[in-house]
Amino acid sequence: MIFGVLVGIALTVGVAYALDYTQGPLVGHLVNWDVVQRRLKVLSSNIQAGWSKLTNR
């Protein structure tokens, strides 16, 4: 079940990305990918900090 959810998320993001970059600059983007990138960096650093706390490093 979890695998299906992860595949669904990956497909959703993949389709949004594909649509954004095949529409061209005149139509505009569905997703602000700069914001997505910043939030993923924050999420990644939070996960790393949490993992470090768990493993006492």
> For position 26, what pLDDT does the model report?
66
- Sequence-ordered list of residues with C-beta below 8 angstroms from that of 3, at least 6 positions apart, any chain: none
Q: Which domain holds residue 24?
A: 2-55
The pLDDT tens digits for 1-57 are 899 999 999 999 998 888 887 876 666 676 788 888 888 899 899 999 999 999 986
pLDDT at 25: 67
pLDDT attached to residue 5: 94
pTM above 0.85, yes or no: no
Q: Give the pLDDT of residue 50.
A: 92
Pinpoint the alpha helices (H) of 1-57.
2-23, 33-55
- Note whether 20 and 34 are within 8 A (CB): no
Number of folded domains in the chain? 1
Structure token pair of residue 20: 């954004």
Specify the pLDDT at position 21.
79
